[in-house]
């Protein structure tokens, strides 16, 4: 069975702090995809990143960076120098290749960035 | 390019009434998904269409829920009769398998309140 665990329910930081959101996944498949989505207070779900299981390179996009480690089944997301606009719920998700890319979502981590 | 379009954005109805939610996927995408988001259950997949054909409806809660996709650019999710426990945010998402791009892009959601 596939499962995504986001153990941090809520995180509160002060602007300019760095923050890491944890994501641990479970799957027996060797080919899979991992995703992060952002849900700001306005409610929409915004795609942030997609990573396949054969690509363990870390990725950096501006203040965002992702650390994928197959050895620990983790796909963590770090925001550097957080800003108030980063306040949102962040979801990690898993899909299995060969199926129809059904997304299995974690419960989400609510990030509050205070000025 | 236009993203996934959903209507209405908000719907308030009374128990027992029929509710129809609408979705227009991104042009060229051939996979369409309906999700429901609640505080208790998080994000859960209701139904998946590929090339307008329902492939997996195992997430549809009960017979009161039905979904159709009459063509590649339109889908509906209907609840009849509606109940207060159906109150949730309903998301539509689309993706393209033709280009092996399995990323799902979400619409803004429809917030349904059943009184």
pLDDT in tens, B32-65: 999 999 999 999 999 999 999 999 999 998 899 9
**Which residues of chain A does B103 touch, with a Cβ-Cβ cutoff of 8 Å?**
35, 47, 50
CA A2 remoteness from chain centre: 16
pLDDT band at B98 (very low <50, low <70, confident <90, very high): low
Q: Rounded CA gap, A50 and B55, in Å? A: 24
The predicted structure's pLDDT at residue B91: 98
Nearest to A5 by CA among A93, A70, A103: A93
pLDDT beyond 90 at A79: yes
Confidence (pLDDT) at A80: 96
CA–CA gap between residue B33 and residue B60 (Å, rounded) = 12
Q: Give dist(CA B87, CA B113) in Å, integer.
A: 5
Show residues of chain B in contact with A45, CB under 8 Å: 91, 93, 106, 109
Inter-chain residue contact B48 with A100, CB threshold 8 Å: yes
Q: Closest partner residue to A105 among B43, B48, B97, by Cβ?
A: B43
pLDDT at B100: 53
Residue B114 above 70 pLDDT?
yes
Q: In sequence order, what E strands does chain B have? A: 5-7, 10-13, 19-24, 31-38, 42-50, 53-56, 65-71, 74-79, 88-96, 101-106, 110-114
Q: What is the pLDDT of residue A55?
A: 85
Q: What is the mean pLDDT of residues A10-26?
A: 97
CA distance B80 to chain A (A): 25
What is the pLDDT, as a whole number, of residue A48?
95
Closest partner CB to A100 (pick from B31, B43, B108):
B31
Please state which of the ranges A9-13, A42-46, A99-103, B33-37 shows the lowest mean pLDDT.
A99-103
């Amino acid at each position: 069975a596939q499962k995504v665990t986001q153990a941090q329910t809520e995180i509160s930081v002060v602007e300019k702090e760095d923050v890491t959101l944890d994501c641990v996944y479970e799957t027996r498949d060797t080919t899979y995809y991992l995703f992060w989505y952002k849900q700001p207070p306005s409610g929409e779900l915004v795609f942030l990143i997609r990573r396949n299981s054969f690509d363990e390179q870390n990725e950096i996009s501006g203040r965002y960076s992702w650390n994928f480690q197959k050895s620990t089944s983790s796909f963590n997301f770090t925001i550097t120098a957080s800003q108030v606009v980063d306040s949102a719920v962040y979801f990690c998700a898993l899909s299995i290749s060969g199926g129809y890319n059904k997304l299995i979502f974690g419960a989400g981590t609510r990030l509050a960035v205070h000025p | 390019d236009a993203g996934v379009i959903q209507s209405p954005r908000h719907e308030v109805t009374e128990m027992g009434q029929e509710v129809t939610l609408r979705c227009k996927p991104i042009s060229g995408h051939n996979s369409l998904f309906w999700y429901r988001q609640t505080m208790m259950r998080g994000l859960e997949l209701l139904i998946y269409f590929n090339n307008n054909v329902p492939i997996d409806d195992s997430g549809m809660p009960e017979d009161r829920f039905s979904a159709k996709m009459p063509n590649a650019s339109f889908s509906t999710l209907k609840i009849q009769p509606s109940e207060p426990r159906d109150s949730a945010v309903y998301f539509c998402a689309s993706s393209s398998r033709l280009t092996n791009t399995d990323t799902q892009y979400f619409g803004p959601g429809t917030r349904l309140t059943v009184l």
